[in-house]
Amino acid sequence: MTHCPTILQALRQRGYRITSQREMIIEIIAHSDRHLSAEEVFHRLREKTSASNLTTVYRTLEMLWVEGFARRNDLGEGRVVYAPLAHGPHLHLVCRSCNRVIEADHSLLAGAEHQLREHYGFQADLAHLNLFGVCQDCREG
């Protein structure tokens, strides 16, 4: 029925129960080609079934993130979005002026990551970092 048997199996093994709501939410996230907010996931869920509840969506997305089956990105100003793991590592350059998000190579932070580890013992997670600033268009325009 589902297209994500691996995630479901893993969750079951960790003591979670697989409900139809969870299956559908996992489907939506896993096959999304872009970041989705809880609200957007909820709307897509509604198109499939009436058994959909925003509270459950919030809880399921949080759980998927905690368990390592979804990415979570806090864009600030209360904008939290989720993406599938397939959405590989990269930086988000968020323009404070036009709100556009440019995706950038995250390897340019490899040096910084190493230094943080060396000097502060801090294991930073920079694979999906958001950086705020002003994009070229907004600076020139």
Least separation, in Å, of the C-beta of 132 and Zn ion? 11
Give the one residue of 62, 90, 93, 102 binding DNA; rule: CB under 7 A: 62
CA 44/CA 32 separation, integer angstroms? 11
Give the one residue of 38, 55, 76, 81 binding a copy of itself; rule: CB under 8 A: 76
Piece of the chain touching a copy of itself by CB under 8 A; list 38-46, 50-58, 81-89, 131-139: 131-139
CA 46/CA 112 separation, integer angstroms? 43
CA 56/CA 41 separation, integer angstroms? 11
135 binds Zn ion (CB under 5 A): yes
Per CB under 5 A, contacts with Zn ion among 96-115 are: 97-98
Buried b / exposed e over 46-78, threshold 16 CB at 10 Å, is eeeeeebeeebbeebbeebbeeebbbebebeee
CA 8/CA 25 separation, integer angstroms? 12
For residue 97, the partner it binds in DNA, Zn ion, a copy of itself, none, with Cβ less than 5 to 8 A by kind, is: Zn ion
Cα-based torsion angle of the residue sequence 21, 73, 120, 107 in order, rounded to the nearest 10 degrees: 120
Residues that bind DNA (CB under 7 A): 12, 15-22, 37-39, 51-56, 58-60, 62, 78, 80
Residues that bind a copy of itself (CB under 8 A): 74, 76-78, 93, 95-96, 102, 104-105, 108-109, 111-112, 115-116, 119-126, 129, 131-136, 139
Residues that bind Zn ion (CB under 5 A): 95, 97-98, 135, 138
